[in-house]
Amino acid sequence: MQYLVLSFSHRNASLSLREKLSIGENEVDLLLEYILHSKIVKEAILLSTCNRLEILMIANDAYDAFQLCFTKLAELSQANKDELEDRADTFEGYSAIHHIFLVASSLDSLVVGETQISGQLKKSYRYSLHNNYCSSSGLGSVIDFAFKCASIVRNETGVSKKPISIASVAVSSTKKIDLHKKEAIVIGIGEMGELTIKHLLNLGFKVKLLNRNKQKAIDFKDSLNNDDLIVLDFSHLRDELNNAELLFSATASKMPIITNDMIDNVPYKRYFFDLALPRDIENLNDSNIKITTIDDLQNIVDENMNFRKDSLNRAYEIVGDEVNEFFKYLNILSVAPIIKTLRQIAKDASINEINKAIQKGFLPESYKSNIEKTIHNVFNVFLHTPTKNLKSVSSTSQLGEIERTLKMLFNISDDNLKEAEQKHDNNAKMMR
């Protein structure tokens, strides 16, 4: 079994390709069930955001697992399978874990340091866990370590201080625009829309919010309790966009919601920010409208990178350290069955000898429980140092040789390991 990641992001895929790969909620199950049904992929998580699509997997064959993903993605997105293979980044083993930790720590984001990605990854993991697409001990362990890594990066570096999101970068760029009035329209009340509204209100803008589900918009307005936010019917979209200098659109629509036939000529410049993927605004023919997309914001992001250089270097060091810690953890897990088996062998031997002694009359039956406890404690003390030393070499190249030697010396087979694991789990359940 090995860890795998298939990745499409702003780094390797154009905006148009990422639009095609935007997976709807009803398609998540189709993709995950397809690749898991093969039995090649044992666990999977799908992370789909406005800037990336990541498939995290545990599988027994990397090539076959990736081919399954490409086949289903091509079907769902109507994209060319060969193009998907050419564009995708694929990660295996150590590099897969390293990539996941980078993503969780927002070091691979369009806007480095944004905090959205952590919540999106957590939501994707919980969805897979709830639907039995992954386990808490498999990919769940990876996600737990990834969040721990992200927390250390946030706390020990300046990468996420004064956090920047796509929404905040978009709103901040309006400071360079000469507007007649500090008013803006926001379309959509997803996470991006909510962040955009909050940033606009903080800058003193009056905001008109349009959302297909008007009640959801009203509930959001009530939660903010801010009179500078007004909720309008979505049916007013055409009128409002032709009366606005500044517009932000961030819906989950599969098709553009603002098209050329909706645009009236007006005598002033208009600034439309398309924060959606797929895009909400088609290419408009009006030269008085400047459209800014997610990818256009990359220039602003690059300008913000210089002052974060030292923090980034430290952040990457932390990720490297935490990836190493994760693999140490895996190695300790790999020796755990041997440790449990040694303890079980010792316990079985002691019980057998006690039973023989009782049968032969060397010990009274009433002593059995106390003697078992005493011998059990003796073996715990005896095995403490070997157990500690075995764990200490779990991250070294010696581990494989030591494992093989222990199996040979104590005649431990894979069946013994499974049996000891089962007995240990049963005993643990009885003690709860």
10 Å CB burial of residue 427 (0-12, 13-18, 19+) is exposed
Whole-number Å distance between alpha carbons of 48 and 6: 12
- Name the token pair of 269: 């410049």
β-bridge partners, 345: none
Q: Which of 169, 166, 177 is nearest to 290 (CA)?
A: 177
Long-range contacts of 288-296 (CB under 8 A, 24+ apart): 289/263, 292/170, 292/173, 293/15, 294/10, 294/15, 294/50, 294/51, 294/110, 294/166, 295/10, 295/15
β-bridge partners, 206: 183
Residue 325's alpha-carbon distances to 4, 30, 137, 227, in angstroms, are 18, 34, 16, 50
Among the listed residues 50, 69, 134, 149, the single catalytic one is 50
Whole-number Å distance between alpha carbons of 260 and 252: 20
Whole-number Å distance between alpha carbons of 118 and 165: 12
Question: Most distant CA pair in the chain: distance in Å?
Answer: 108
β-bridge partners, 271: 246, 290
Active site residue 69: no
Asked if 46 and 128 count as a contact pair (C-beta separation under 8 A), the reply is yes
Report DSSP state, residue 397: T
- Residues with Cβ within 8 Å of 390's Cβ and at least 6 positions away in sequence, in order, are 335, 338, 339, 402
- Residues with Cβ within 8 Å of 207's Cβ and at least 6 positions away in sequence, in order, are 183, 184, 185, 186, 197, 200, 201, 228, 229, 230
Catalytic site positions: 50
